[in-house]
Amino acid sequence: MKKYIPSGLTLLNLLCGSIAVLYVVNNNYVGAAQFVFLGILLDFFDGFAARKLKVTSEFGLQLDSLADMVTSGIVPGLVMYKMLALTTNNSFFQDVFPQWGSNVKLSGFEVEWLPLLGFSITLASAVRLARFNLDDEQQNFFKGLPTPANNLLIISLPLILEFQENDNINAIILNKGFLIVITLLSSFLLNANMKLFALKFKNYAFKGNEVRYIFLILSLIMIIVLQFAAIPVIIFMYLGLSALDQKKIS
């Protein structure tokens, strides 16, 4: 019976991702974020449960990636599509590249070209997950930004708009150029040839886990001070600390 527990948690992650898609389609980013957070939490616990119960399997690995493809692949791509769609008529890019704002008709349903760039995140996530499944090295570290971390980066943008109430930050986030850069950077980081430390503790001693403890403490402080605006800062801090600790990551 215990062998079904991790897969059950994975399927709940997939369900959360599916519900999050519905919320994003209906422009409810707060509801989407709630199910994204829950899905990412389940994604952590399914692997934890499999290791603790000693029921890890190839089937579980493949199912986990399929669930992540929805929760942390389709959802952030769709969020970015929606965010870019908000900016199609109010940016300097419209004057320089007017064709970017034109529409293509698909059986009576009009789709704008530029927002489709958001789905490059979905495509990059698929490549990242496929590589992860075939890479035996990524047991104690990651190569490239993990899809859940990237998902948090993208989903944080509409949450900042919703809750931070800062006109300067809002102007940056709703700038088409900024969103294009974040989209391309996100797609690149998912498959970057860079080792990133995993939050897996072999023991809880400070020695040997310095970077992990520093990261967790600073992240907690930033969340308290900056709230949702802390999420992008934490993601880039994660990248920075990993870059400084390359020799110890193995």
Q: Does the global pTM surpass 0.75?
A: yes
Domain tally, the chain: 1
Span 61-91, pLDDT tens digits:
899 999 999 999 999 999 999 999 988 755 4
Q: How far apart are the C-alpha atoms of 183 and 165, rounded to whole Å?
A: 23
Of the two residues 219 and 110, the one the predictor is more confident about is 219
Cβ atoms within 10 Å, residue 64: 23
- State the residue range of the domain holding 39: 4-248
Answer yes or no: are the C-beta atoms of 227 and 145 closer than 8 Å. no
Per-residue pLDDT, 57: 86
Tokens read off for 6: 């991790």
Radius of gyration of the chain measured on its C-alpha atoms: 19
Which residue bears the tokens 């389609």? 25
Q: Report the pLDDT averaged over residues 27-39.
A: 96
Per-residue pLDDT, 54: 80
Q: How far apart are the C-alpha atoms of 123 and 28, rounded to whole Å?
A: 23
Span 196-210, pLDDT tens digits:
988 876 666 777 778
Domain CATH for 91: 1.20.120
